[in-house]
Amino acid sequence: GAVVSQHPSWVICKSGTSVKIECRSLDFQATTMFWYRQFPKQSLMLMATSNEGSKATYEQGVEKDKFLINHASLTLSTLTVTSAHPEDSSFYICSAKGRGAGGYFDEQFFGPGTRLTVL
């Protein structure tokens, strides 16, 4: 299967600072990337969908000015949490869907997640 990486795997920051999380597709072209958030003991909630070269589409209730998503290339999407606050502490997971050498994948592939703790 295809591989998606995330960096960093965990980050601790002070309240008010910004944090950037990278999501990379290592061996395929990710035409669409998704960002999910997971609070402890809860399910994954979709935050936004981004297509390469286009603006991200945010789910209702997700502040686009706070969670900046950039999908500038077919292998990289970034999520920047601006002016982070303790309530933004969560597990952020990206996934990617796209095409490999054999054509388009039917499924999306998940990164390992990034644990964000805001003090």
Q: Which range of residues in 13-21, 65-73, 81-89, 107-115 is near another protein by CB under 8 A?
A: 107-115
Q: How many CA atoms lie within 13 A of 11 on its CB side?
A: 24
* From candidates 25, 79, 97, 118, binder to another protein by CB under 8 A: 97
Residue with tokens 């996934």: 95
The secondary structure of 47-89 as a DSSP string is EEEEETTSPPEEPTT--TTTEEEEEEETTEEEEEE-S--GGG-
* From candidates 17, 18, 42, 83, binder to another protein by CB under 8 A: 42
* 29: contact with another protein by CB under 8 A: no
* 31: contact with another protein by CB under 8 A: yes
Q: How many C-beta atoms lie closer than 10 Å to residue 37's C-beta?
A: 20
Q: What is the C-alpha to C-alpha distance for residues 63 and 50, in angstroms, rounded to an integer?
A: 15
- Binding to another protein (CB under 8 A) within 56-75 occurs at none
* From candidates 75, 111, 116, 118, binder to another protein by CB under 8 A: 111
Query: Using CB under 8 A as the criterion, which residues of the chain lie in contact with another protein when the complex forms?
Result: 1, 31-32, 34, 42-46, 49, 51, 93, 95, 97-98, 104, 106-108, 110-113, 115
